[in-house]
Amino acid sequence: MKKQKFPSDIKIGIIGGSGVYNIEGLQNVKEYKIQTPFGKPSDNIIVGELEGKKVAFLPRHGRGHTILPTEINVHANIYALKLLGVEFLLSISACGSLKEEIRPRDFVLPDQIYDRTKFRKSTFFGDGIVCHVSFAEPFCKNLRELVYNCCKELDIEVHYGGTYVCIEGPQFSTKAESQVYRKLGFDIIGMTAIPEAKLAREAEMCYTTIGLVTDY
């Protein structure tokens, strides 16, 4: 792989989900096409400054929304952001609500996740390299609290904590499946937090998700 030129001091990363394909207010913008041992990321990574902080942004599904959840090259996405120096990674994900009190347009900051995916490799390790990484707390508490405080300051309806159940997709769940998830006490349902959260943990990133509720 050819030597690539890109910055390596970008501490903050943002992954945009459905409908989030750019960041307003980003200044001194540059794009980087980064190759990784795992292939190409979902799109070019956009680097700029936001409120004086260097930020790297990557649209998870590509800017034309051409990539299904199962098709996302999460390994390449996380690896590329790591190459840029990202230590704090904020993920934005459209999701459905499993509880009446969590309404469309609310924000949810989950603290737990339940993996119902079927076809996704969820580790960087293997092929002779063995590592067992703790995943008891899948989301970074410090970053979650920071996002929560920002939401409160902006008067955004936000729910702190909860369980995100991640399904394979691209189909939504059946009524029977949703009823089971509700009985298990899950709060929101989506398709993209796995393996993203697991790979971010293996990459030693402080990772959290904002669930943007679109429907029940």
Other C-beta atoms closer than 10 Å to the C-beta of 42 total 22
Preceding omega of 170 cis (within 30 degrees of 0):
yes
Contact 129, 79 (CB under 8 A): no
Which residue ranges form the domains of the chain, and what is each CATH number? 12-215 (3.40.50.1580)
Give residue-wise pLDDT tens across range 183-202. 999 999 999 999 999 999 99
Contact 197, 207 (CB under 8 A): yes
Of the chain, the percentage scoring pLDDT greater than 90 comes to 96
Give residue-wise pLDDT tens across range 102-152. 999 999 999 999 999 999 999 999 999 999 999 999 999 999 999 999 999
Give residue-wise pLDDT tens across range 36-77. 999 999 999 999 999 999 999 999 999 999 999 999 999 999
Q: What is the rounded CA–CA span in Å between residue 163 and residue 108?
A: 9
Number of residues in the chain: 216
The per-residue b/e assignment along 50-83, b for 16 or more CB within 10 angstroms, e otherwise, is: beeebbbbbbbbbeeeeeebeebbbbbbbbbbbb
